[in-house]
Amino acid sequence: MTFSLLTFSFTLLTSCALPRIIILDDPLSPEEHINLGVAYEKQGDIDNALKEYRLASKKLPMAYLYMGNIYFQKNDFDQAESSYRKVIKKDSQNADAHNNLAWLYYIKKENLSEAEELVLKAIELNPAKKEIYQDTLDKIRGVKGK
């Protein structure tokens, strides 16, 4: 009896001493990460905004649009282009991503034919924003000389 009691006590003590690994899921939804990113962005905390958008992008492709907009504001056009392209690849129906990539090309004065196609696609995808997208199209065509 003494031996079994000692064995039980030892087993109990060693099991209590073993480290336990707890894996927690992210408590925030992708949408909540976007909202938090927007709040950080409004406060001028761009680094934390990008961090939140990256977390959201794992499950919500639209987060790349927000990331692209930040990179655009920072004049990091390569990262902005990459982000906009990721949105379009993962969510081809995102009209804003098409328009924003077109605007990026307009600002850089390159790929203007593709920019025109992108903005025309944006108008097709979301006619409700035609006036906004039309401004992008007019500026692109102005540079192209149409």
Distance separating alpha carbons of residues 112 and 140, to the nearest angstrom: 7
pLDDT for residue 1 is more than 80: no
Distance separating alpha carbons of residues 102 and 98, to the nearest angstrom: 6
Distance separating alpha carbons of residues 12 and 58, to the nearest angstrom: 41
pLDDT, tens digit, 9 for 90 and up, residues 17-34: 556 665 567 788 999 999
pLDDT, tens digit, 9 for 90 and up, residues 45-93: 999 999 999 999 999 999 999 999 999 999 999 999 999 999 999 999 9
For the segment 33-39, the average pLDDT, to the nearest whole number, is 97
- CA atoms within a 13 Å half-sphere pointing along the CA-CB vector of 70: 22
How buried is 8 (Cβ within 10 angstroms: 0-12 exposed, 13-18 middle, 19+ buried)? exposed
Of residues 5 and 95, more confidence is placed in: 95
Distance separating alpha carbons of residues 18 and 36, to the nearest angstrom: 37
